[in-house]
Amino acid sequence: MLLPRKLLALTTGALIAVSAPFLATATQAQQAAEGETLLVDDATFEFIQKSDISALTEGVLEKLELEIGKNVQKSGVIGTLHKQKAELLVAKAKTAATSTGAIQKAKAQYEQAIASLARNKRLRSMQGGHVSQEDYEKSLAEVAVTEAMIQEAEENQKLAQAELALATQARDEHTIKAPFSGVILKVLKREGESVKANEPVVELGNLEKVRVFFFVPLETSFRLSEGDEVEWQLTVHGKRGNVLPIEQKKFRGVISFIDPQVQPQVATEVRIYADFKNDNFELRPGMKGTLTLRLNAPGAKPRRVAATAVEPAAIPAVANTPVQPPSLPPLSNTSDPATRPSATELPTLPRN
């Protein structure tokens, strides 16, 4: 049966209509793969590490090694308390810990008791021995007593060594050290002032690594993942003649934290942190600037999924390349029976 030209045209239109949604989906998937960007104004830097460094013991500040703006390495000395008494206690404990007189005395008494016991044994073994049972038992007891004296002297020496460790620790606590590398931001105590235990002496901040915090709408937070790269550019307000070189730079960081809590006080938004390396100390806490975020495709699976999350139903993946519609045979001259397409040559329409 011959197919009229009108039916062929309807068949072609139907195939194009069926293929159009697939073409649109493929185009959207390609655009989503390229990623969208979001600009966040007034993204502010802050310290990741900033602490009030305290003295571990009570005393009087003898010397402050560093002033405001000075750098200190981890375990570096910040200041010291008066520690003459602590050093004397260490010397006393060290003498007791290294003394071996009591042990040597106990060993000498033990050897004497052993010799006495051996002599009594020898006399008792001789015919008509002259050692009574009472003297022999006394010799045995003296050996046991001297053995206990040796053990006691050795245990006392171990206790003295423990006392030395405690005295050394107490002396070392008079030295205030930095728990991490950083710069002195504030000086809270001066030489000659009394310091209580755990009372802050200086404020220390680490500039080697800083972070920026910002807020995004709740729906946008689902298109971000920890580990995503961000860009930050400084914004300096005010009228100036020249642009600062740092204003032309873009700093790259990585999202390190997406708050699982929603912040209702800021219009239902989510707080996010991004960490930046600051090897040259160009970035300073308090700086504000514009942050550029690259959003993941809507509905994309995040890098980290909670164990209790319910996986959505599987959706067939759409290729990045546009879907090509089925090819149709070229229209021929229907007036020529030899060139007319037969019914078996017609394409099959897709079924729902």
Residue-wise pLDDT tens for the chain (352 aa)? 444 555 445 455 544 444 444 343 334 344 444 468 999 988 999 999 999 999 999 999 999 999 999 999 999 999 999 999 999 999 999 999 999 999 999 999 999 999 999 998 888 888 666 788 888 899 999 999 999 999 999 999 999 999 999 999 999 999 999 999 999 999 999 999 999 999 999 999 999 999 999 999 999 999 999 999 999 999 876 556 677 888 889 999 999 999 998 987 666 899 999 999 998 899 999 999 999 999 988 766 554 433 333 344 443 444 444 445 445 445 444 445 444 444 444 444 444 4
Residue 51: DSSP 8-state: E
Chain position carrying tokens 């007593």 = 145
Chain position carrying tokens 């019914």 = 343
Domains 34-48+206-295 and 50-82+174-204 share a fold: no
Fold for the domain defined by 50-82+174-204: OB fold (Dihydrolipoamide Acetyltransferase, E2P) (2.40.50)
What are the residue boundaries of the structural domains of the chain, listed by start? 34-48+206-295, 50-82+174-204, 84-172
pLDDT of residue 297: 81
Give the Å distances, CA to CA, from 79 to 175, 181, 185, 193, 203.
6, 15, 15, 12, 13
Buried b (16+ CB within 10 A) or exposed e, 272-299: bbbbbebeeeebebebbbebbbebbeee
Residue 76 neighbours by CB distance under 10 Å: 14
Q: Whole-angstrom Cα distance, residue 164 to residue 154?
A: 15
Class of domain 34-48+206-295: mainly beta
What is the number of residues in the chain? 352
Q: Whole-angstrom Cα distance, residue 78 to residue 52?
A: 12
Chain position carrying tokens 């052993």 = 114
Give the Å distances, CA to CA, from 201 to 61, 175, 267.
9, 12, 40
For residue 199, give the 3-state DSSP assignment: coil
For residue 14, give the 3-state DSSP assignment: helix
pTM flag (> 0.85): no
pLDDT of residue 244: 80
Q: Whole-angstrom Cα distance, residue 17 to residue 294?
A: 34
pLDDT of residue 67: 92
pLDDT of residue 346: 43
